[in-house]
Amino acid sequence: MTETADVVIIGGGCMGASVAWHLTRCGVANVVLVEREPTLGAGSTGRNAGGVRHQFSHEANVRLSRESIHVIEHFAEQVGAEIEFWQDGYLFLLSASESVEAFSRHTEMQRSLGVEVEWLTAGEAAERVPGLRSDGVLAATFCARDGIADPSGVTHGFAGAARAAGAQIRRRTEVTGIEVEAGRVVAVETSAGRIATRTVVNAAGPWAGRVGALAGVDVPVEPLRRHMFIASAPDGGWAGSAPDSRIMVIDFETSFYFHREGAGLLFGMGDPEERPGFDTTVQWHLLERIAPVALKRLPVLDDVAIAHASAGLYEMTPDAMPVIGPVPAVEGFYVIAGFSGHGFQHSPAAGRILADLIAGRDPQFNLEPFKLERFADGVEGGERNVV
């Protein structure tokens, strides 16, 4: 027997859950969200550091951050669920003159949008973070309203509110096909049966390319493995040798980052030799590459044990900018994916924007940087501050 839905959302991470809730806010009650895993947020959402920041190089991303962080700050009031959010700031360390020049421009743009970003000397940066060594740092930027939020809490908060408003959430349900007739979506085939619908949302994160292919659409999103490690506190505790807050510190030239995570210290760094793929096996040899950078910036890491390690997938596009909006070639097919490492933090605003588009509302947001069509003629610009 074929079910019917106004909208089918593919993907139960933070983005799909946000779209579902915002659709119910627009009066679209017959929403079905399908997730192939047993739990929501089991993919990229559940394997990220939880960072939220205003400090992006592209104005569109800063605008997404402004709206999203406002929602996260008032999540209980707006969504009805309590979440954890530590607004201890983001500190970017800049060690190359080119980065100093670029961040100077970015900071000016961020301030023009009402974001309070401080410009610090190396010494001032070191004063903010116990244990930090700022050797070779030329300058730093700091935004106090940036911070660390709880991806699971946000995802389940959106999902719970959507369900309470009438949306259905189907776990352990895999999408196996998308039916397109005469250039428009007519149904979604799943492992649990067929759902007739005229609107489908591809919120599949790193798998967005594969889901797009089911509808005959090229969505240029590639999965890229990124690692996180959590170090246990040394005997006697950190004792001033590591941050006593959850401030996020990023060594921009190397992409090495760290912040406190409970009693431990979470850290990671991009691997320039990583190639696209869906493998999330932890590559322990990466620690050998991280160690020289880590010890240069936070010497206490020389004497700690690794308590936990995990690898998740970034959903990368050629310009590190997301795709948000309709697919011109297939009526009723929408994409919200490709956030290139900043999807969780932008899910509140991006979900609202896409829900408005589906409901026929003006999202009051310039969507030109996010259009799928931009890839046809080759991309220019894009986001530079990918961590």
Which has the closest alpha carbon to 90: 113, 67, 62, 59?
62
Which has the closest alpha carbon to 159: 361, 285, 16, 261?
16
What pLDDT score was predicted for residue 313?
A: 96
What percent of the chain is modeled with pLDDT above 90?
93
Does residue 161 have a pLDDT over 80?
A: yes
Does residue 314 have a pLDDT over 80?
A: yes
Q: What would the pLDDT profile of 95-115 be if each residue is shown by its tens digit? A: 999 999 999 999 999 999 999
Task: Report the CATH number of the 3-50+151-221+319-375 domain.
Answer: 3.50.50.60
Mean pLDDT of 243-255: 97
What pLDDT score was predicted for residue 48?
A: 78
Does residue 325 have a pLDDT over 90?
A: yes
Give, as one character, the DSSP assignment of residue 13.
S
Domain boundaries, the chain: 3-50+151-221+319-375, 90-144+223-315
b/e sequence 265-300, b meaning 16+ C-beta within 10 Å? bbbbbbbeebeeeeebebeeebbebbeebbeebbeb
What is the average pLDDT score of the chain? 96
Is 153 in contact with 81 (CB distance < 8 Å)? yes
Is 169 in contact with 12 (CB distance < 8 Å)? yes
Q: What would the pLDDT profile of 326-357 be if each residue is shown by its tens digit? A: 999 999 999 999 999 999 999 999 999 999 99
Is 267 in contact with 387 (CB distance < 8 Å)? no
What pLDDT score was predicted for residue 381?
A: 84
H-type helices in the chain, by residue range?
14-25, 59-73, 75-78, 97-112, 122-128, 151-164, 208-214, 286-297, 343-358
Does residue 21 have a pLDDT over 90?
A: yes
What pLDDT score was predicted for residue 7?
A: 98
Report residue 31's pLDDT band, with 50, 70 and 90 as the boundaries: very high
What pLDDT score was predicted for residue 46?
A: 65
Does residue 1 have a pLDDT over 70?
A: no
Which single residue is written with the structure tokens 């609107």? 199
CATH architecture of 90-144+223-315: 2-Layer Sandwich (3.30)
Report residue 89's pLDDT band, with 50, 70 and 90 as the boundaries: very high
What pLDDT score was predicted for residue 380?
A: 77
CA distance 303 to 161: 44
What pLDDT score was predicted for residue 303?
A: 83
Q: What is the pTM of this model?
A: 0.96
CA distance 114 to 140: 19
Which residues, including other chains, have CB under 8 Å from residue 99's CB and lie 6 or more apart?
138, 252, 253
What pLDDT score was predicted for residue 29?
A: 84
What pLDDT score was predicted for residue 19?
A: 98
